[in-house]
Structure 1
Amino acid sequence: MTRCAEDDCENEAAVELHIPWDANREVCPDHARVWAQKDGVVPAPMDGHEDEWP
């Protein structure tokens, strides 16, 4: 199990964020929704978690 890369979040990571101005990071679906609203960020479900991300 990979934990969410966001500080103080204990949830399991399910989405990999491709961030053009920073390193990619693996986050939980809740944080992925926030990040996905930023220009240029591309979210992709991690293997085995496709049903957790639309």
Structure 2
Amino acid sequence: MTQCAEDGCENEAAVELHIPWDANRDVCPAHARVWAQKDGVVPAPMDGQEDEWP
């Protein structure tokens, strides 16, 4: 189990964010939804977590 990379979040990471201006990071679905609204950020479900991310 990988923990969400966002500070203070203890949820399990299920999505890898590809962020053009920063390093990629693994986050929980809730944080992925927020990040996915930013231009250029591409969310991708992590292996085995496809059911957690639409």
TM-score range, shorter chain: over 0.9
Q: Per-residue CA shift, 1:29-51, capped at 9, x if unaligned?
A: 00000000000000000001000
Deviation beyond 6 Å, 4+ runs, structure 1: none
Question: How many pairs does the alignment contain?
Answer: 54
CA distance in 2 between counterparts of 1:49 and 1:26 reads 12
CA distance in 1 between counterparts of 2:53 and 2:2 reads 16
**Residue 25 of structure 1: CA displacement?**
0.1
TM-score w.r.t. structure 1 length? Answer: 0.99
Structure 2 residue runs without a partner (length 5+): none
Root-mean-square deviation (CA, aligned residues, Å) is 0.2
